[in-house]
Amino acid sequence: MGGGIAAYKSASLLRLLKEQGHDVHVVPTRSALHFVGAATWEALSGHSVSSEVWDDVAEVPHVRIGQSADLVIVAPTTADLLSRAAQGAANDLLTNVLLTAQCPIVLAPAMHTEMWLNAATQANVATLRSRGVVVIDPAVGRLTGADTGAGRLPEVEQIAQIALAQVVKHPQDLAGKHVLISAGGTREYLDPVRFLGNRSSGKQGIALAQAARDRGAKVTLVCANVALPTPHGVDVVQVETGEQLRESIFSLAQGADVVVMAAAVADFAPVTVSETKLKKVSGQEEVTLVLRPTIDILAQLSASKKPGQVIVGFAAETGDSNGSVLEHAQAKLKAKGCDVLVVNQVGNGIGFGTDDNEVTILIREPQSVVTVARNPKLVIAHVVLDSVIA
């Protein structure tokens, strides 16, 4: 743990992990011991505690602790610790543990909002995430004093849940399979600077890529304008427009066992794309955009799929006077011809950009419906893959 006031909350995290049967070793930085002393950590963990590489040298703790751990959780992670971790520093026992760890590393930052939002801190977070380190976003709420904002240590139950999810032994039921996933939202350009786009963040597609990778698949993720880090060990192809997405998906689908179209693809694109920037004309009160329907990638894929290939589509639905969400979804499953359709009910504060999702999965053969309650997108992703395998 780093030297932040939230170190006192780590005592509850330690107890929670111990109660679940885990053997926990505590490695505080020197600063962390200003907030909670070594005696507390030794009593709660049942192990001796040090911040230095010079204690128990004969046991080579700076290498042994990291190498033998199944999971490293740093809670709280200060701005200084994020910086040292991103630099690969090895100037105390904790940073040595981070460098030698052969297991997932989960960092739970806690600091003042200004420090968290500082460009240097954000760059360090991006660097660590790009190396596969899980950096949990801090919670928003009351900080040390009367101030509030982003920077609070998330609840210890949440830290434990996210951290332990990294070491779950997933069934390798997609080993030897190639899973192709599209994520994000396409852009249809009007001119070199303007486009028609949508709010899809790509989070659900990224979660699917991570879940498929963890279940042993070779994964290719086609990202349409995704600003988030992509999972390690996944091949990533970047595209912008629906046409680029279609070309990538069709060429990659040849070798794929499963294709998941999680991307939000524009249904219409401008008939003409101006090569030069469109200028406003003075006095003009209305502008008319002429759009043409785009090619439905999902429907085309389903119509031309290889034997044994599984095609998964996504749909966002609201019920209306013509039918319920489920009725519209059943009609879409039929119209698209895919094997599985994952349906989001639009609204309820979930969907675009959120970490959670709530879906209904329609399976064509044997015909069935699976309802999945509100859960993190990674959990939803695993249930979708269960349907694919079934």
Is residue 180 a contact point for ligand CTP (CB under 6 A)? no
Among the listed residues 177, 191, 223, 232, the one whose alpha carbon sits nearest the alpha carbon of residue 204: 223
Contact with ligand CTP (CB under 6 A) among 269, 314, 377, 384: 314
Measured between alpha carbons, how far is 358 from 335 in angstroms, rounded to an integer?
23
Secondary structure (3-state) at 326:
helix
Measured between alpha carbons, how far is 246 from 251 in angstroms, rounded to an integer?
9
Instruction: Fill in the DSSP letter of residue 53.
Output: T
Is residue 188 a contact point for ligand CTP (CB under 6 A)? no
The total of other beta-carbon atoms located within 10 Å of residue 182's CB is: 30
Is residue 179 a contact point for ligand CTP (CB under 6 A)? no
Comparing CB distances to ligand CTP, the nearer of 195 and 314 is 314
> Which one from 198, 225, 344, 357 is the annotated catalytic residue?
198
Number of residues lying near ligand CTP (CB under 6 A) = 13
Is residue 265 a contact point for ligand CTP (CB under 6 A)? yes
Is residue 223 a contact point for ligand CTP (CB under 6 A)? no
Only one of the segments 30-38, 60-68, 284-292, 312-320 lies at the binding site for ligand CTP (rule: CB under 6 A); that segment is 312-320
Measured between alpha carbons, how far is 299 from 126 in angstroms, rounded to an integer?
36
Is residue 99 a contact point for ligand CTP (CB under 6 A)? no
Give DSSP secondary structure letters for 200-239. --SHHHHHHHHHHHHTT-EEEEEEES--SPPPTT-EEEEE
Measured between alpha carbons, how far is 377 from 356 in angstroms, rounded to an integer?
5
Instruction: Fill in the DSSP letter of residue 350.
Output: B
Measured between alpha carbons, how far is 68 from 173 in angstroms, rounded to an integer?
27
Is residue 263 a contact point for ligand CTP (CB under 6 A)? yes
Check if 198 is active-site: yes
Is residue 267 a contact point for ligand CTP (CB under 6 A)? yes
Site string (229-248) toward ligand CTP, x via CB under 6 A: -------------x------
Comparing CB distances to ligand CTP, the nearer of 15 and 305 is 305
Site string (273-302) toward ligand CTP, x via CB under 6 A: ---------------------x-xxx----
Is residue 270 a contact point for ligand CTP (CB under 6 A)? no
Among the listed residues 303, 313, 183, the one whose alpha carbon sits nearest the alpha carbon of residue 236: 183
Q: How far is the CB of 261 from ligand CTP (least distance, A)?
A: 3
Comparing CB distances to ligand CTP, the nearer of 278 and 291 is 291
Q: How far is the CB of 315 from ligand CTP (least distance, A)?
A: 5
Among the listed residues 299, 345, 350, the one whose alpha carbon sits nearest the alpha carbon of residue 324: 345
Is residue 261 a contact point for ligand CTP (CB under 6 A)? yes
**CB distance 105 to 74 below 8 Å:** yes
Only one of the segments 130-138, 257-265, 277-285, 350-358 lies at the binding site for ligand CTP (rule: CB under 6 A); that segment is 257-265
Among the listed residues 305, 361, 302, 303, the one whose alpha carbon sits nearest the alpha carbon of residue 330: 361
Measured between alpha carbons, how far is 242 from 246 in angstroms, rounded to an integer?
6
Only one of the segments 125-133, 167-175, 230-238, 308-316 lies at the binding site for ligand CTP (rule: CB under 6 A); that segment is 308-316
189's tokens: 């350009």
Q: Contact residues for ligand CTP (CB under 6 A)?
A: 242, 261, 263, 265, 267, 294, 296-298, 313-316
Residues with active-site annotation? 198
